[in-house]
Amino acid sequence: MVQKQEYLSKNQKIVLDDVEKANQPLKAYSILYNVQKKGLKAPLQVYRALDKLVEIGKIHKIESRNAFVACKNSNCVVSNATAFSICESCEKVTEINNSKLSKYLSNFEDNSGMKYSKYNLEFFGLCKKCKNK
Amino acid sequence: MVQKQEYLSKNQKIVLDDVEKANQPLKAYSILYNVQKKGLKAPLQVYRALDKLVEIGKIHKIESRNAFVACKNSNCVVSNATAFSICESCEKVTEINNSKLSKYLSNFEDNSGMKYSKYNLEFFGLCKKCKNK
DNA sequence: AATAATATTGTTATAATATAACAATGCGTT
DNA sequence: AACGCATTGTTATATTATAACAATATTATT
């Protein structure tokens, strides 16, 4: 039996490395620009690496921004429960790591009869800096 | 002083009408196709109407799907607090209207010093139908 | 009624984001 | 060696969204 992938491939490492260095969300085509010196020439190479990295939880996608950010949560193995705060002025994005919140949302049930296996939450507002401007 | 808009313009009505009829999220270019018989010819006409309708809360954007859905919540005047359940199999989307949840999230504060004015939450899973297949 | 302020419309072109399709290679398992 | 599968490379194209400019419409104020 072929095992599930436990390592990162060359392109996946290159892309993850770039996103981790950034410390802020990056757009796919910015990543492409950054990694061209390392040999990745086509959008698809970046998107494929991103897909896998998102799947295994190393990277999260900020859906409202079409941008990708490295997971800071060292134990985040799967990206099935994500929460972010987004400053609408400077666009600073921070991953929220709050066990009460994640517990609350993971256990949330409504009357639809649907059991949720995953969620993504994005908060918007002004960060400290921008609030005081 | 010029007052804030209280009515819908022609294009806004046409677009809202189409989205409300759908009862499910529509893509912008599907809307464009639908409303071409009513004279809207260009993507921008649709996007501009959508922008306004989202701003005033008549329509919500499902960020993870790049799709737009009418607000079912009759009292939803501003779209500053939205939650949806999304079936990953059939793509059925339902707006969650749960006062405990919205209260919890509206009052949520973390240690970032950021006060949130808005949020969007998307739950993923399998709906009743798809679960039993 | 004329003016000003703002929102809306129409239009063409283009930017930005993402995937399809196909061929080849690499790597662990049988 | 043969198989299965993930990854890679590549070209082309699909999908989603906005820029820029000119014109018209609506409403509030003078």
Q: Measured between CB atoms, which of A96, A117, A126 is closest to B110?
A: A96
Domains and CATH numbers, chain A: 10-109+117-131 (1.10.10.10)
The per-residue pLDDT for A114 is: 85
Contacts of B79 (CB under 8 A, 6+ apart): B54, B55, B56, B57, B59, B60, B71
The per-residue pLDDT for B75 is: 60
Q: Separation of CA B106 and C1' D7 in angstroms?
A: 44
Q: What's the gap in Å between the CA of A128 and the closest CA on chain B?
A: 6
Q: What is the mean pLDDT of each run of 10 residues along chain A (133 residues)?
A: 63 97 97 97 98 94 98 72 94 94 93 88 94 82
Q: Which residues of A spanning 11-50 put their CB closer than 7 angstroms to strand C?
A: 27-29, 42-44, 47
How far is it, in rounded angstroms, from Cα B16 to Cα B6?
Answer: 15
Task: With CA atoms as reference, report the closest residue to B51 among B86, B11, B91.
Answer: B11
How far is it, in rounded angstroms, from Cα B58 to Cα A105?
Answer: 26
Q: Separation of CA B24 and C1' D24 in angstroms?
A: 34
The per-residue pLDDT for A15 is: 98
The per-residue pLDDT for B3 is: 35
The per-residue pLDDT for B1 is: 28
pLDDT at B19 over 70: yes
The per-residue pLDDT for A1 is: 31
What CA–CA distances, in Å, run from B125 to A70, A113, B1, B118? Answer: 24, 11, 49, 24
pLDDT at B78 over 80: no
How far is it, in rounded angstroms, from Cα B13 to Cα B7?
Answer: 9
Is B131 in a helix, a strand, or coil? helix
Residue B7 banded pLDDT, cuts 50, 70, 90: confident
Please tell me whether any atom of strand D lies within 7 Å of the Cβ of A38: no
Residue B6 banded pLDDT, cuts 50, 70, 90: low
Q: Which residue has the higher pLDDT, A21 or B73?
A: A21
Chain C: nucleotides below 7 Å from protein CB are: 5-13, 16-21, 28-30
Largest Cα–Cα distance of chain B, in whole Å?
A: 59
Question: Average model confidence (pLDDT) for chain A?
Answer: 90
Q: Which residue has the higher pLDDT, B94 or A113?
A: B94
Cβ-based contacts of B119 with chain A (< 8 Å): 121-124
**B86 φ, ψ to 5°?**
-130, 125
Chain B contact for A4 (CB, 8 A cutoff): no
Q: Which residue has the higher pLDDT, B33 or B3?
A: B33
How far is it, in rounded angstroms, from Cα B68 to Cα B25?
Answer: 5
Q: What's the gap in Å between the CA of A90 and the closest CA on chain B?
A: 13
A94 and B112: CB-CB below 8 Å?
yes
Q: Separation of CA B96 and C1' C13 in angstroms?
A: 40
Four-CA torsion B29, B85, A118, B61, nearest 10 degrees: 30
State the DSSP string of chain A.
-PPPP-S--HHHHHHHHHHHHHSS-B-HHHHHHHHGGGT--SHHHHHHHHHHHHHTTSEEEEGGGTEEEE---TT--S-SEEEEEEETTT--EEE---HHHHHHHHT---TT-PEEEEEEEEEEEE-HHHHT-
Nearest-Cα residue of chain B relative to residue A81? B123
Task: With CA atoms as reference, report the closest residue to B71 among B31, B25, B29.
Answer: B25
Q: Measured between CB atoms, which of B64, B105, B116 is closest to A125?
A: B116
